[in-house]
Structure 1
Amino acid sequence: MSVQRFVGANSREAMRRVRAALGDDALILANRRVAEGVEILALAEEMVPPAGPGPGSAVGEARPAGEAPDRPSGAHAGPASRPAGSSPAAAPPAVSRPAPSAPAEHTPPPDTAAPSPGDPRPGDPRPGDPNPGDPFAAFSERLLGEMQDLRALLVGRQEAAAPVGTAEDDNRVMLNRRLQGAGYGNALARELLDALPLELVHATAEAALAWLERQLVSRLAVLDDESRLLDEGGVFALLGPTGVGKTTTTAKLAARYVMRHGAGGVALVTTDSYRIGAHEQLRIYARLMGAEVHALDADAPLDDLLARLADKRLVIIDTVGMSQRDRRLVDQVARLGQGARPVRRLLLLNAASHGETLEEVVETYQRASLAAGAPLYGAILTKVDEAPRLGAVLDIAIRHDLRLHYVSQGQQVPEDLRLVDPHGLVGQSLTPVDDSAFVGEPLAWQATPSARRWRGLSRSLLGQGRSLAVVMAQLRARVGGVAALDAAWPLQGLPLARQQAHLDRLRGLPAIGEEAAAVMLWSRHGPIKGSQCRLPALCLNARGLPLAAPWPSHCQPAGEAERLAAVETRLGVDRHFLPRCPSAAARRHLLDAGSDWLALAQANTRVIFEGERLALKALAEQAGVHDTLNCRYRGREGRLATGWLPVSLSDGTPLQAWFAVLRDPDTGRRRLTRYWLAADKAAASRPVLLVAHLVAEEWSSLAGRAWQWLAPEAGEGVDTELRAWLASALAALAVRLDQETADWAMDVRGHLLALLGGSRKRSAAVLLEALWHLLAARDAFVLAAGPLLGGGDDAS
């Protein structure tokens, strides 16, 4: 390996010679003016030895500002194409699911041993060097050598560091210890910590614990409307092993009903003929409440009794307690499903029991309930006041998807039965407790999650399903239009005629959902990259962040003013981002409607300033800097400096000319310059809108990438209108997740990056790739196990 010297009459000629000899990826080490013109010292990229994992193995390698790679991370730049490799989940046969490739493997680091005193240094003259006495070349060579030594030293230290998972500043270690100490199991701990966002790995313990609590709460299904449960009533059977508290809980639940509706509409039934005094205990409770009570042998059919109690709104059955290992259990539970009136089965879980015992109880009673015709309706936690740790019982409820209705803690009726507060319960479970002789040392956390678990979908199937369900639920609840995207995605697997029939749902203006549209982003008239379809218009929220809600271009009115009026009338939008200065008719409409607008302009666009017709580029310095704010652009942080001047068009229309320069926050290097024209309105809030308009540029390029991925490989294909809509919606959602700063978005990003193995850096392009994996994995779950995740509307 050696540095090569190139000389040209000027810098352009010298760079041409560098490219001709070493290619476009050459590493420029230094340049200077010499008598012959300009001298450049360069090194071919492949000559630079790899220095361990991480993107960009060549020092100084750069990509032009704003340029995004056409392929997923890990591949060299090349023609845009659909991602290669294996998806983490096989998609239904009728829908093509190409998936982006995994990051490329890295070569081992170079030997880090220090050179001996007699070894030549990189800057020393060597036989055959073109300029052995040139101090400039020697300095460059020495600089390169020192850079390589430094990188090798860093890699060596990284490899010699403590084993992964033992570093005290890694929050995965701390969270794993907290989970294990609280009684949660290894399976759930790994499922959770696989999705820990990268920004929280070395954050404060408080931030990491807050994230962990949010994850547990989001997975814990609870009764959210007790009034509807008691108002609707029905027949409820309380199941569980002996001594779990079924009789007392029966009385507590009945008392809650009596306090709301009176005693006339409730009846209690006991089938516990084994335990001495069981009937009498329930009769005492019923007499105190003024409610009916009926005793029935455990082997007697329920049908006749339930028929006599048809006028009772609520019937609660206190069943006989049986061990989960009792062979008679299945027969006893089966009798609860033989009547004409449906019986809802609630399982009581002793919070003080060991996790493995609870696992057996839930599995056995769930199998028995399914054999009786329906799964368990939910669960009630008992003896919470006796449990030193709540992690085990909450772990069981989460992994078995049991909806918790109530928490019982104490013998008082009805005071000691309360609705589940998920935040309080999870927080109580994570509160540190004294060390226990029965809680082992937590397993060392491996910092690199196993991506194979996602791609194979063969291990921890329910855990993966829960994670996907959490992500989909968060997206549906937080981002407008995701429900429509979720419903439209399966349409790709239908015949073309049926796809086109379902397209009526997407025509017209977009379905926003809970999140309102406040700004309309109008795309350029050019087609999506690699297609003949134009980009749709896109709805943004009040903060200028995208909704997954495109408005197809073929559904828009023909005239510019007519399009603006359509969204203003039906969505109440009063702000517009335009690809160019609006026409005179459109400006008149916007002025009459009182709407605000911002239009992208070119550097050579001419306006009138102080009576002189000038290009915007010539006015930039006069505008100065009025405001500076942080933003993310194409996966990198930046500082956007903005300024404006009052200008006018040639017809006298007053406008504002806005100027923005995006710089790297660390080096101050300029990344891009943009120009806008805007309505002559208050300027205070404009910088935020400029950021929104700037980041929306990435949406169009990502939509082109998603369009390529949606290319059909077999069958009749995908309708072009549907394909353009899906590509635009996916790209908008990826940009939204990259820009969003709320905790929920950080949590979702953690789950999505875990789909890709957890080692990818956050960017809208990477998140688009992960969203693709998410929907493909969801398809596989639906195909294999039915609507496990509660997906969108049935497309068939």
Structure 2
Amino acid sequence: MNVRRYQAKNMQDAMRQVREQQGPDAVILSSRRVDGVLEVVAATEAPSEQAAPARPSASRSTRPAAVDSDLAAMRRELRDLRSLLAQQQVLSERDQWAVRHPLAAGIAERLVECGFDDGLARSLIGGLQEDQTHDEAWSRLRTRLAASVATVQPSVLERGGVLALVGPTGAGKTTTLSRLALHRIRRLGADSVTLVTLDRQRIGAHKQLQAFGQMAGVPVILLENERDLLSLANRSAPDHLILVDTEGRSARDAAERKLFAQIRHLVEIETWLVIPATHQAGVLRQVLKAFQSCEPSALVLTKIDESERLGEILSVLLEQHLGLVFQSDGQRIEEDFHKADTAHLTRLALGESIPRLQSRAENSPPSATIENPRFTPRDAAVLARCEPLPRLSTPRTPNPSAQMAPAPSAMTRDSLVLESVIPFRKSVHAAY
């Protein structure tokens, strides 16, 4: 510890002497005026070059342990004091800024309360003018925020091809797949889409798709691997839409396994990443980073109605380059599924009370809706308007020579529930 006393005309002169004698790391311990002269006491943790010569090592070994303990305690106090002074300086600067810009400071505080990142909040208020009213400034900020969230307009649902949904477990991939299939069915009919699942890990993972496929009259195929998907895509018409459901994976597993990497050069596959709005910002960042290996081209945001702080989600969306394509805010298959609406998301994130979006598949009559994902008999009657594809009954013992055959017309839909999932066999897909 090097403690020195300086006498100067003013504080500026004293600080100059301290820097010259003890360096920029010196800490001012006290200052007072004595007979018109400013007296300053400064200290550094390490001895300066002008300090007195160090004592011989022999004397150090005989120095009482209490002295070393006192020096260590004094060093800790100096470090704490320096940290406290730095914090006070930052707070003082922020308070001074808030006094000069009360409108911007109030809006920034409100954004942070809504879950937005502090740095993002300060960036968003950068263009506000103090002569604006609070409502004008808030409206301008809302518009700017909504325009900053990227969106995309997909073409795969119209032109056909292979579309795979990836994402963490419980994100809502299977439900989203059913919703996308219904969108396609409303426009082009049941024979324009095939549902595929690669999820063989989760027990009963295909049951939801199985029920939907049975009611909608579309085939649901359980594939063994990606090579089977390649074979199916090659046998399908160019304008046929193949929707692929994948198993949920943790961020670590997704980063280690590059899904569809073996067949991307052989067939064009578009991948969408399904993310739930219920994730915390840190977890969502991990998911986005981990699933980059799947090469997603768009995002689907689900479970908006279950999110407590949607501002956290929008903060993360603004940090990355993928655009939002669809969003969902409930369990109903059709009414709670919407094209990306950043203005609606922004209002929700800002805590503004607004009515829920009312969405329908394009060109569908008002009566043709699915209000219950459990598929009641009324839903079956609605979906019966779509002419079902021929069904294939699944034998207990695989038969490579089995051919596709239409289901008897006398059979009811309930009797076909167990036949809506078709294990992949090359002979089965010869007709696609």
TM-score class, shorter-chain normalisation, is 0.5 to 0.7
**Residue in structure 2 matched with residue 166 of structure 1 by the alignment:** 98
Q: Deviations over 1:513-538 (max 9, x none)?
A: xxxxxxxxxxxxxxxxxxxxxxxxxx
Report the alpha carbon displacement of residue 312 of structure 1 after superposing the two structures with TM: 5.1
- Compute the displacement of 1:310 (Å): 3.6
> Which residue matches 1:364?
290
2:429 maps to none
> 2:221 aligned to 277, 288, 294, which one?
294
- Partner amino acid, structure 1, of 2:160: G
1:192 is aligned to 2:124: yes
Compared CA separation, residues 298 and 309, structure 1 to 2 (3 A) = same
Aligned equivalent of 2:144: 215
Aligned match of 1:132: none
- Alpha-carbon offset, residue 338 of structure 1: 3.0
8 Å Cα contact 2:167-2:275 kept in structure 1? yes
Indicate how the Cα distance of structure 1 residues 269 and 162 shifts in structure 2: closer, same or farther if over 3 A, else same: closer
Residues 36-56 of structure 1 show CA distances to partners (whole Å, capped at 9, x for unaligned) of: xxxxxxxxxxxxxxxxxxxxx
Q: Partner of 2:107: helix, strand, or coil?
A: helix
Q: For each residue in 1:269-313, what CA deviation from the matched residue of structure 2 results, as whole angstroms up to 9, or x when unmatched?
A: 111111111122212111111112211135655321221234552
Contact 2:311–2:350, Cα closer than 8 Å, also in 1: yes
Equivalent residue number for residue 157 of structure 2: 230
Change (3 A) 1:324 1:302: same
For residues 332 and 280 of structure 1, the distance between their equivalents in structure 2, rounded to whole angstroms, comes to 26
Whether 1:413 aligns to 2:333 is: yes
Distance 1:244 1:177 in 2: 31
User: 1:725-750 deviations in whole A, cap 9, x for unaligned?
Assistant: xxxxxxxxxxxxxxxxxxxxxxxxxx
2:201 maps to what in 1?
274
Contact 2:193 2:241 in 1 (8 A): yes
Paired letter, 1:387: S
Which residue number corresponds to residue 246 of structure 2?
319
Cα distance in 2 for partners of 1:321, 1:297 equals 16
| Residue 403 (str. 1) matches residue 323 (str. 2) | yes
The 1:177/1:306 distance shift into structure 2, 3 A limit, reads: same
Q: Partner residue of 1:242?
A: 169
In the alignment of these two chains, the number of paired residues is 262
CA deviation after TM superposition for structure 1 residue 335, in Å: 3.7
**Shift of the alpha carbon at 1:259?**
0.8
* Structure 2 runs not aligned, ≥5 long: 1-91, 354-432
CA positional deviation for 1:362: 0.6
- Output the CA distance in 2 between the equivalents of 1:192 and 1:350: 25
CA contact (8 A) 1:378 1:403 kept: yes
- Aligned-pair distance for 1:236? 1.1
Change (3 A) 1:279 1:329: farther
The C-alpha deviation readout for 1:3-48, integer Å capped at 9, x for no partner, is xxxxxxxxxxxxxxxxxxxxxxxxxxxxxxxxxxxxxxxxxxxxxx
Asked whether 1:206 is paired with 2:135, we answer: yes
Q: Distance between the aligned counterparts of 2:262 and 2:134, measured in 1?
A: 49
C-alpha distance in 2, partners of 1:260/1:348? 23
Secondary structure of the 1:221 match is coil
Matched residue of 1:252: which SS? helix
User: Does structure 1 retain, via aligned residues, the 8 Å contact 2:160–2:238?
Assistant: no
Matches within 5 A, 1:12-27: none
Deviation by residue 1:71-106 (Cα, 9 ceiling, x = unmatched): xxxxxxxxxxxxxxxxxxxxxxxxxxxxxxxxxxxx
Deviation at 1:172, TM superposition (A): 2.2
Q: Aligned letter for 2:303?
A: K
Paired residue secondary structure (1:410): coil
Partner of 1:383: 303
Q: Is the 8 A contact 1:223 1:403 kept in 2?
A: yes
Gaps of 5+ in 1: 1-159, 370-374, 434-796
Q: How does 1:736-751 map to 2 (within 5 A)?
A: none
For residues 244 and 164 of structure 1, the distance between their equivalents in structure 2, rounded to whole angstroms, comes to 44
- Change in 2 beyond 3 A, CA 1:332/1:163: closer
Residue 405 of structure 1: CA displacement? 0.8
Residue 167 of structure 1: how far off its partner (Å): 2.9
* Maintained 8 Å contact 1:165/1:172: no
Cα drift, residue 229 of structure 1: 4.7
| Structure 1 residue 161 displacement after superposition | 10
Distance 1:341-1:300 versus aligned 2 partners, 3 A rule: closer
- Does the CA-based 8 Å contact 1:263-1:289 persist in structure 2? yes
Q: C-alpha separation between the residues in 2 aligned to 1:404 and 1:253? A: 15
Task: Specify the code of the residue in structure 2 equivalent to 1:419.
Answer: K
Q: After superposition, where does 1:95-106 map in structure 2 within 5 Å? A: none
Cα distance between partner residues in 2 of 1:180 and 1:240: 28
Aligned counterpart in structure 1 of residue 190 of structure 2, from 242, 263, 273:
263
Query: Contact 2:230 / 2:263 at 8 angstroms: preserved in 1?
Result: no
> Which of 104, 108, 115 is 1:183 aligned to?
115
Task: Work out whether residues 268 and 317 of structure 1, in 8 Å CA contact, stay in contact via their aligned partners in 2.
Answer: yes
- Inter-partner Cα distance in structure 1 for 2:346 and 2:334: 23
Name whichever of 201-210 and 265-274 sits farther off: 201-210
Deviation string for 1:203-222 (max 9, x for gaps)?
22111111111211221122
Structure 1 contact 385–409 (Cα < 8 Å) conserved? yes
CA 1:168–1:278: 2 relative to 1, 3 Å = farther
Choose from 261, 275, 287 the match for 1:349.
Answer: 275
- TM-score under structure 1 length normalisation: 0.31
